[in-house]
Amino acid sequence: MHIPEILTEKQTENAVTLLKNYYTERGSKGRVRTGSRFDTWAGGGDAPDVVNTITADDMLAASFLSVRFSPRASIGILETRRDDITALLAQIPADLDLTALNRDEVEKVLGEESPAWKLWDILRGKEDGGWGIGSTKASKLLARKRPRLIPIWDSVVKSETKLKGSLTQWDDWHAALTKDNAALALHLDEIQRRAELPHPVSRLRAMDVVLWMHGTGGGAPQPPTGEDEEA
């Protein structure tokens, strides 16, 4: 995959500014950027009391990244498939970090027979006739529950990285974040450290924010593109 220049060391200062602005910059009338609350809303998606359950607060938090869930999807996730989702989340330890896994562990945790992949299919409604949840919405829900393991996928990330598609992105990101002695992962730590955020976020979330801010010209309003928007 292509590592965007904004994630290289020579662009560190620009990346720091983008990350810091996303979480601290206020718009007209002092309004905060809604996406800055995605990570921490209602205590976070990986809080101990909800770590293995997708809640209404998780879906609300995902909506802060400008996606919307249909009533059918909400009922399906929060009620119809609730037990199945909980059982699969329970098989994915909340402390797993994509940047710390070896190749065999990635296959076990994120491969086609893994709990994460089965959860991805449930969220996409593949066994239920479809709920109007595509790869972007599904990734934002999973990133809310397992922020250190699951990256967000949207049209901006795809454009910035030239990733082939959402079905290969987990492998692609793992390869990029662990090669060269995890140079990119450590660089993301440095960007976040220098940004002095109000609260820490995962490496994957810091990366997503930098890419999104860069790809949208600093978070400028973008034309609607379906489910791939962030705010």
pLDDT tens digits along 111-164: 999 999 999 999 999 888 889 999 999 999 999 999 999 999 999 999 999 988
Enumerate long-range contacts of 67-70, CB under 8 Å, 24 or more apart.
Answer: 67/136, 67/137, 67/140, 67/227, 67/229, 68/227, 69/131, 69/132, 69/133, 69/137, 70/131, 70/132
Give dist(CA 231, CA 218) in Å, integer.
11
Give dist(CA 30, CA 36) in Å, integer.
14
**What pLDDT, on a 0 to 100 scale, did the predictor assign at position 225?**
39
Question: Which residue is listed with tokens 């393991």?
Answer: 149
pLDDT in tens, 157-211: 999 999 888 889 999 999 999 988 789 999 999 999 999 999 999 999 999 999 9
- Contact indicator for 167, 124 with CB cutoff of 8 Å: no
Q: In this prediction, what percent of the chain has a pLDDT beyond 90?
A: 83
Q: What is the mean pLDDT of the chain?
A: 92
Give dist(CA 216, CA 65) in Å, integer.
14
Give dist(CA 204, CA 139) in Å, integer.
12
Give dist(CA 13, CA 194) in Å, integer.
9
Q: Is 224 a residue whose pLDDT tops 60?
A: no
